[in-house]
Amino acid sequence: MPASARWEHFPHGADTGVRGLGASPAQAFEQAALALTAVITDLELVQPQQAVQISRVCPDREILLTEWLNALVYEMATRHMLFGRFRVSLDGPHLAGVAEGERVDAARHHPAVEVKGATLTQLEVARRPDGTWVAQCVVDV
């Protein structure tokens, strides 16, 4: 039986790896998104005050992960928000996601870095032998 959903960072030179683990690809995508936000701030500080819908279509699940993460980076930058709660639904090449968060409050959130985008470096979306799904890549900071 797969381990419970979780996220983690992994080292990569000057950048940071984000990894989501879950019982399904969708759950692994959600956890990767949490890892993305955790590069910037403490997740406990982000309140789910506003929901943003995100949809993407890509037949390659690995590229779909980068599309998802880059959409989150774009929404955070243009809306001046941080997201701390995510819901993802995957149906073949279609991703429907919801990101919940709030406007950045520098005094409260203490943003550490700005994530510029998800890269193809160490990109992987796969099922491990124990049944756990992993969704990971390096993000440019």
pLDDT over 90 (residue 34): yes
pLDDT over 90 (residue 4): no
The amino acid that residue 99 corresponds to is A
* Superfamily for the 6-140 domain: Archease domain (3.55.10.10)
Number of Cβ within 10 Å of residue 93's Cβ equals 13
Domain boundaries, the chain: 6-140
List beta partners, residue 20: 7, 135
List beta partners, residue 138: 17
Least confident of 14-18, 46-50, 75-79: 14-18
Whether residue 7 contacts residue 18, with contact meaning beta carbons closer than 8 Å, is answered with yes
Whether residue 83 contacts residue 100, with contact meaning beta carbons closer than 8 Å, is answered with yes
What integer best gives the mean pLDDT of the chain? 95
- CA atoms within a 13 Å half-sphere pointing along the CA-CB vector of 4: 0
List beta partners, residue 8: 19
DSSP code, position 47: -
pLDDT over 50 (residue 1): no
Which tens digit of pLDDT belongs to each residue from 100-120?
999 999 999 999 999 999 999
The amino acid that residue 77 corresponds to is A
- Say what the pLDDT of residue 3 is: 57
pLDDT over 60 (residue 141): yes
Q: Which residues contact 4 (CB under 8 A, 6 or more apart)?
A: none
